[in-house]
Amino acid sequence: MAIGMIMLAFVLSIMAGMKRDMINQGTSLLLGHMQIHAKDYRPDRSIYDAIPAGRSDLLGQLRGDPSVLGAAPRVSTFGLASSGNKSIGVEILGMEAAAERNVTILHEKLIEGSLPEPSEQSQIAIGELAAKALGVSLGGEVILIAQAADGSLGNDLFTVSGIFRSGLDLLDGGMAILDLGAAQSLIALPAETIHEIALRTASPTDAKTVASALERTLANPAIEVSPWQTLTPELSSWVAMSDSWSWIMYVIVFSLAAISVLNTMLMAVFERLREFGVLAAIGMKPRSVVALIVIEVTALAGVSLLVAIAIGTPLLRRVVGKGIDLSSFSDGFSVTGVAVGPIIRGDWVFGDFAVGAALLFVCAALAGLYPAMRAAAVDPARLTRGEIR
Amino acid sequence: MKFIIFLALIVSTASAANPAVGSMDDRAKEIVDRVDQLMRGDSSRADIRMEIQSKHWKRILEAKAWSKGTERALIQIRKPVKERGTATLRAEENIWNYLPKVERVIKIPSSMMMGSWMGSHFTNDDLVKESRMITDYHITISFDGERSGTKVWEFTMAPVENAAVVWGKLVLEVRQEDYMPTWQRYYDEDGEMVRTMTFGDYRKLDDRLVPTLMEVRPTDTPEEYTRVIYQDIDFDVDLADEFFSLRNLRAQRLD
């Protein structure tokens, strides 16, 4: 039972850790906890569906909101990146590096250089795979071509100022990052025009509530605030799936625990049938016998729990602290568009542990009922006749 | 540049009069087969005006275009001044763009073939695929008779098996009296019409009757269109294959 407890805690911790990593990675890399767009912007992402409000007013209002920890304005379009004889299709994202640092961690994913600065309008940051495909390195030249808002063919020459590795092929191979102003001038948009504001809030878990509260505060029917759950349905369905997996884990672990309790207690009861007979003979009520066994089982569960805590705590501390290094198997993998590093760290999910422990007690008590009833049903008369050994 | 290639096709069709009489399908093939043979070596130099109407803007471009056969074409924008010198070169299966602002030549990757050409309703793919009509499509005469008082043929072109084409079906209407096309409809793989190209303003340029207006309209946004107007055209001009070079793509004063 102690082993079951440790196993359960271990698995719950890993699952919670992965879920946390998935959500954090998925939201902090580029998405943000929520995003603001014009109502018609998603999913077509037309450059003409800009946020219909003064950029500075809106940003000011957002940054003044206590639930918003960071707000990053962006413009986005699709185009062609070219260098020498090589060209690739890219998503072009114009951003303010300073604002972005409060919302996302793309700057931490740079393996070389830095994100484009507003002072350098001709800088570009691209992913490692894109750099390879274009055959450029830091300081290299990249031409971007995109359909501009006035119908002309926007084109400009940029110098690679940063190369990032996020672990996501989509980003590393097909994303070109410019300064907001540079992107706006590339596609002939006025400086006030933005397509997206990415937001960071206190925690991604309450994104839905905060998003709808924010939408009410902004009170602009042409603007929508979408939490990450809406922006990446894949990620949120993965999270839902991982939650149902923990329920399956509960069922498996508790079935095993219940069977072992049943087995232990049946043995314990059958070995002491004579003693129970004697107890019955001297006038102990069957109900009291049942209570006795159930208390015994509960005590057993209690001891198991203590053992589990004693052995499990250092184990979990290691899992949470250092994590499980899977790098000998792979360099990390991506699930539903989220890169999960090669090291998986667990999480202290005390709530889940407590639920697990409580369920273990209930389970043990239920599993103890049958042996208890057998013990209570011992007939002292048959016992004295020697019919029960 | 499809319009250039297309023009070459039409011009050749006109000179391919009286094809051998056979079964309907053979006849359709015969016409286009002859067209294919006649098109090779045919060259042109044209002054083009392009009007692009989109939901958000209207643009007028003026350009000079050269073509040789179906495989080589060069088009250089002259107006507006801001885009002067922007040019596209097509040689065999490849397309390059020259951007004077950054003074660089860019090769269009195959992944961008369905992208818009210069913001118009023509795709880059339009520039390369047209020449393979005869090999990539199975051509039948789907109508032969009178429509609004004019005798026309309607050709239906279905892609042959394993052909690397983007269209599910093409339907082309041609006037019988002078082999002038009236319209062509493009269908996707599900049989939905995607766009219509309409021809008009048939005029004699350089002693040949040609449609001097071509208009393409996407079916799902019929208020948008790209109109190509031929202001002047010279046929059978002396152009070497070497004319269609990356060097000439970058040349600012080409005549």
CATH number at residue B143: 2.50.20.10
The residue among B52, B88, B97, B105 with the most chain A CBs within 10 A of its CB, best to mutate, is B97
Evaluate whether residue A210 is within a structural domain: no
Per CB-CB distance under 8 Å, the chain B contacts of A142 are none
Which residue on chain A is closest to B108 by alpha carbon?
Answer: A87
Same domain, A123 and A99: yes
Q: Phi and psi for A340 in degrees, rounded to 5? A: -110, 125
- The answer to whether A89 touches B112, Cβ cutoff 8 Å, is yes
User: Measured between CB atoms, which of A82, A87, A151 is closest to B119?
Assistant: A151
Same domain, A66 and A165: yes
> Quick check: B104 and A150 CB within 8 A?
no
What DSSP string describes B13-40? HHHT-SPPP--HHHHHHHHHHHHHHHHT
Residue A41: its pLDDT value, please? 87
Size of interface A-B (CB pairs under 8 A): 60
> Quick check: A156 and B56 CB within 8 A?
no
| Domains held by chain B: number | 1
Residue B128: its pLDDT value, please? 63
Evaluate whether residue B175 is within a structural domain: yes
User: Measured between CB atoms, which of B55, B104, B109 is closest to A143?
Assistant: B104
Between the CA of residue A59 and those of A266, B52, B165, what are the distances in Å?
68, 36, 47
Same domain, A96 and A145: yes
Which residue on chain B is closest to A78 by alpha carbon?
Answer: B115
CA B7 to chain centre: 6
Cα(B67)–Cα(B204) distance, integer angstroms: 19
Evaluate whether residue B52 is within a structural domain: yes
Give the helix/strand (H/E) hosting B181: strand B181-187
Per CB-CB distance under 8 Å, the chain A contacts of B108 are 80, 87
Evaluate whether residue A229 is within a structural domain: no
- Per-residue pLDDT for A248 more than 80? yes
Evaluate whether residue A28 is within a structural domain: no
Evaluate whether residue B255 is within a structural domain: no
Cα(A84)–Cα(B77) distance, integer angstroms: 22
Q: In sequence order, what are the residues at sequence separation of 6 or more whose Cβ sits closer than 8 angstroms to the Cβ of residue A300?
A: A1, A261, A264, A265, A364
| β-bridge partners, B26 | none
Cα(B168)–Cα(B29) distance, integer angstroms: 19
Same domain, A65 and A99: yes
Evaluate whether residue B104 is within a structural domain: yes
Evaluate whether residue B229 is within a structural domain: yes
pLDDT digits (tens, 9 = 90+) for A131-144: 999 999 999 999 99
> Quick check: A151 and B112 CB within 8 A?
no
Average pLDDT over residues A350-379: 81
**pLDDT above 70 coverage of chain B, percent:** 81
Domain boundary among A174, A200, A226: A200
Per CB-CB distance under 8 Å, the chain A contacts of B115 are 80, 89
- Per-residue pLDDT for B6 more than 60? no
| β-bridge partners, A325 | A343
Q: Which domain holds residue B233?
A: 2-250
Domain boundary among A156, A177, A200: A200
pLDDT digits (tens, 9 = 90+) for A179-220: 999 999 999 998 889 999 999 988 888 888 888 888 888 888
- Residue A180: closest CA among A109, A112, A119: A119
The residue among B55, B57, B95 with the most chain A CBs within 10 A of its CB, best to mutate, is B57
Q: Which domain holds residue A170?
A: 34-200
Same domain, A53 and A143: yes
Same domain, A129 and A261: no
Q: Reduced to 3 states, what is the DSSP secondary structure of residue B128?
A: helix
Going by pLDDT thresholds of 50, 70 and 90, the confidence category of residue B10 is very low
pLDDT digits (tens, 9 = 90+) for A310-324: 888 888 888 777 777
B150 min Cα distance to partner chain A (Å): 38
Report pTM. 0.75
- Per-residue pLDDT for B8 more than 70? no
Using H for helix, E for strand and C for coil, what is the string for chain A? Answer: CHHHHHHHHHHHHHHHHHHHHHHHHHHHHHHCCEEEEECCCCCCCCCCCCCCCCHHHHHHHHHHCCCCCEEEEEEEEEEEEEECCEEEEEEEEEECHHHHCCCCCHHHHEEEECCCCCCCCCEEEEEHHHHHHHCCCCCCEEEEEEECCCCCEEEEEEEEEEEECCCCHHHHHHEEEEEHHHHHHHCCCCCCCCCEEEEECCCHHHHHHHHHHHHHHHCCCCEEEEEHHHHCHHHHHHHHHHHHHHHHHHHHHHHHHHHHHHHHHHHHHHHCHHHHHHHHHCCCCHHHHHHHHHHHHHHHHHHHHHHHHHHHHHHHHHHHHCCEECCCCCCCEEECCEEECCEECCCCCHHHHHHHHHHHHHHHHHHHHHHHHHHHCCCHHHHHCCCCC
Same domain, A277 and A376: yes
Evaluate whether residue A223 is within a structural domain: no
User: Measured between CB atoms, which of B82, B109, B115 is closest to A88?
Assistant: B109
Q: Reduced to 3 states, what is the DSSP secondary structure of residue B211?
A: strand
Which residue on chain A is closest to B58 by alpha carbon?
Answer: A151
> Quick check: B107 and A88 CB within 8 A?
no
Same domain, A6 and A57: no
Structure tokens at B35: 């067209």
| β-bridge partners, B158 | B138
- The answer to whether A161 touches A140, Cβ cutoff 8 Å, is no
Q: Phi and psi for B71 in degrees, rounded to 5? A: -105, -15
Which amino acid is located at B217 in the chain? Answer: R
Which residue on chain B is closest to A86 by alpha carbon?
Answer: B107
> Quick check: A151 and B52 CB within 8 A?
yes
> Quick check: B56 and A157 CB within 8 A?
no
Angle at A49 between CA A44 and CA A51, to 5 degrees: 125
Same domain, A12 and A38: no
Evaluate whether residue A91 is within a structural domain: yes
Evaluate whether residue A218 is within a structural domain: no
A125 CB neighbour count, 10 Å cutoff: 29
> Quick check: B104 and A82 CB within 8 A?
yes
Helical packing angle, A233-271 and A2-26, nearest 10°: 170
Which residue on chain B is closest to A83 by alpha carbon?
Answer: B106
A89 min Cα distance to partner chain B (Å): 7
User: Measured between CB atoms, which of A80, A151, A155 is closest to B54?
Assistant: A151
User: Measured between CB atoms, which of B54, B59, B101 is closest to A155?
Assistant: B101
Same domain, A135 and A239: no
Evaluate whether residue A136 is within a structural domain: yes
B92 min Cα distance to partner chain A (Å): 16
Q: What is the DSSP letter of B129?
A: H
> Quick check: A152 and B111 CB within 8 A?
no
Cα(A112)–Cα(B61) distance, integer angstroms: 42
Residue B17: its pLDDT value, please? 38
> Quick check: B56 and A82 CB within 8 A?
no
> Quick check: B111 and A89 CB within 8 A?
yes
Is the pLDDT higher at A389 or at A40? A40
Same domain, A294 and A181: no
- The answer to whether B229 touches B62, Cβ cutoff 8 Å, is no
Same domain, A196 and A242: no
pLDDT digits (tens, 9 = 90+) for B213-244: 989 999 999 999 999 998 988 888 888 888 98
| Domains held by chain A: number | 2
Per CB-CB distance under 8 Å, the chain A contacts of B56 are 48, 149, 151
Domain boundary among A200, A224, A252: A200
A117 CB neighbour count, 10 Å cutoff: 14
Evaluate whether residue A360 is within a structural domain: yes
- Residue A146: closest CA among A176, A116, A181: A176
> Quick check: A157 and B104 CB within 8 A?
yes
- Per-residue pLDDT for B148 more than 50? yes
Cα(A64)–Cα(A70) distance, integer angstroms: 10
- Per-residue pLDDT for B52 more than 50? yes
Omega prior to B159 cis, within 30 of 0: no
